[in-house]
A and B are shown apart, each in its own frame.
Chain A
Amino acid sequence: MEQWIFWIVAPISLGSAIAMLMARNTVHAAMLLVVNFFTLAVFYVVQNADFLAAVQVIVYAGAIMVLFLFVIMLIGDKDEDLTERIKGQRTTALLLGFGLAALTVFTIRTALSTAEFRGLAEASKGGNVEAIGRAIFTRYLWPFEVTSLLLIVAAIAAIVIGRRSTSDDEEIEPEPSDSPAPIAAAPVAEPRDGRA
């Protein structure tokens, strides 16, 4: 039964990930990533991680992807120019990716080919959510509290970085063409244009 689920969902998962890379449209890429997140939620349910499956759908497919879509809508969908600034970048990336995939799969085959699941029947006795809650609020209480601090700092950082500067109005919309360039900075800027 689980084999069936795996062999049906795994190609969807990998296919949506690869299609995300090749999508020219950013919104399409975001939608394919949502498909990938849902397939991972299916794997979590199958592997007795009910709580994580719910968090995956709510936090990843819900909150984070909505944030991504907000930014895409804010910025507008711009086409990526396909000229390579670094020569052979895409082929090198593909080669490195294939090498990494082959290495990982080979290592797993040699090291873990006979490993079997022990199962979580006794570890999550009385329900997966209850067991995870017990672990988080006893053994992992201190890391859990630290993550709350991390989230507050991230929210403050997002506000500080994302806001428009109101104190110095001349910094808003600095058009590079009509703003007088500093004389000392002009020769430094030259090699960058020449390299491009």
Chain B
Amino acid sequence: MILPAQYLALAGLLFATGVVGVLARRNAIVMFMSIELMLNAVNLTLVTFARMHGNLDGQVLAFFVMIVAAAEAVVGLALIVSIFRRTKSVSVDDAGELRG
């Protein structure tokens, strides 16, 4: 007999891992991957709550989160490529100013 708390605890740990990734790493691509990790952890909680309440709305919301994550990844990676062309670096420390 599995409990919702197990899945939710796992999702919380995954989310915390993503937070550490964003705070500790300075490679912009790895920071982006950590953000994707956090979005996935939230999706896991949404699916778990959907099953816990016997209601499909959580799964629909997780689907919308996936769409937004795809759009966010497209724009963010385009920004990273654009910054790389100017500064020749993917470290966020070198992108400290917005002036071109």
Contacts and interface: CB of A to CB of B under 8 A. Distances in A.
Given A17-B17, A105-B13, A112 B69 contact: no
B33 to A, nearest CB: 5
A48 B74 contact: no
A25 to B, nearest CB: 10
Interface residue tally on A, bucketed by range:
35 or more
Contacts of B85: 164
B95 interface: no
A68 B52 contact: no
A175 B78 CA distance: 21
The B interface is mostly helix, strand or loop, or mixed, namely: helix
B37 A33 contact: yes
B29 A71 contact: yes
A104 B14 contact: no
A154 B67 CA distance: 11
B24 A93 contact: yes
Contact of A147 (B50, B51, B67): B67
Contacts of B90: 75, 78
Contact of B6 (A6, A74, A100): A6
A121 to B, nearest CB: 8
Contact of A47 (B1, B47, B63, B69): B47
Of residues A17, A47, A132, A162, which shows the largest number of chain B Cβ atoms within 10 Å of its Cβ?
A17
B78 A68 contact: no
A17 B98 CA distance: 31
Interface in A36-93: 36-37, 40, 43-44, 47-49, 51-52, 55-56, 59-60, 63-64, 67-68, 71-72, 74-75, 78, 80-81, 85, 89-90, 92-93
B47 A123 contact: no
Contact of A71 (B50, B68, B80): B80
Contacts of B40: 36-37, 40, 60
Interface of B: 1-10, 12-21, 23-27, 29-30, 32-34, 36-37, 40, 43-44, 47-48, 50-57, 59-60, 62-64, 66-75, 77-82, 84-86, 89-91, 93, 96-97, 100
